[in-house]
Amino acid sequence: MSVFGDTWEYLTTLANWRGDEGMLALLLQQLLLSVTALGIAVAIGLPIALWLGHLGRGGFLAINISNVGRAIPTFALLGLLVTADWPGVDTFGPYGRAGLATLLALAAFALPPIITNAYIAMREVPADVKEAADGMGMHGTQKFWRVELPLALPLVVAGVRLALVQVWATATIAALVAGPGLGRVITDGFYNSYYGKGIAGAVVVALVALALELGAAGIQRAVNPLPRSTTGRKAEAAPEPAAK
């Protein structure tokens, strides 16, 4: 049987989805890991980036911290964390072996797009809109919540959307330290030369990533305060009356 046939057989065999080590349980474990890591990154990075963007200061710091974060390989950071005395490889509740180390590594990976997008979104709010808010007598906090943040929100959500998909795909590295998630299916399949199993795990990761991307894109459109243009076609001009 071909590798693709093995992949299809593995995906369509119900027994492979059942149990504590089944695909469904591993998928939920990876989803929990990804959402928690994203939540940590949002809680840390978003307030700082939004406030710096509101003040118009710290741009050099925000962008360069993000660049440093992009330059550090997530697996290398995970390797450092699991070999350290803390957080090490201890089991961390539902996040499994080396759960805390994996969460920290993934959260660090999610920070750059969140910080960069949030800061740039705040800085790109039109100056004339800010001046109009000042003219209406709004103080800084009111201008932030009622003017700047609503206009910046689509780009802010775009950063969170990018981080979510990246973290979900990268969370498979947890399997390299015996952690939870679909990475177990991938690594076990290729390690044992059962390539259909490994590819099946990768296919599920890709499909869920696509679903997350589409869902986040829908949220991004929903939070856009500016109506989308519906004038896809030019209006036809009425014919001029014939000259008499």
Q: What is the pLDDT of residue 175?
A: 92
Q: What is the pLDDT of residue 223?
A: 87
SS3 state at 190: helix
pLDDT string in tens for the chain (244-residue length): 689 999 999 999 999 999 988 999 999 999 999 999 999 999 999 999 999 888 887 777 777 777 777 778 898 899 999 999 999 999 999 999 999 999 999 999 999 999 999 999 999 998 888 889 888 888 878 899 989 999 999 999 999 999 999 999 999 999 999 889 999 999 999 999 999 999 999 999 999 999 999 999 999 999 887 765 433 444 333 344 444 3
Superfamily of domain 3-222: MetI-like (1.10.3720.10)
Q: What is the pLDDT of residue 170?
A: 95
The whole-angstrom separation of Cα 159 and Cα 225 is 17
Taking the domains of the chain in order of start, what are their residue ranges? 3-222
Interacting residues of 148 by C-beta distance below 8 A, sequence separation 6+ = 53, 54, 122, 125, 130
Interacting residues of 124 by C-beta distance below 8 A, sequence separation 6+ = 152, 155
DSSP state of 194: -
DSSP state of 192: T
Please give the model's pTM, rounded to 2 decimal places. 0.87
Nearest residue to 73 via CA among 161, 212, 159, 173:
173
The whole-angstrom separation of Cα 194 and Cα 175 is 17
The whole-angstrom separation of Cα 142 and Cα 69 is 32
Q: What is the pLDDT of residue 54?
A: 87
Check if the beta carbon of residue 116 is closer than 8 Å to that of residue 41.
Answer: no
Q: What is the pLDDT of residue 141?
A: 86
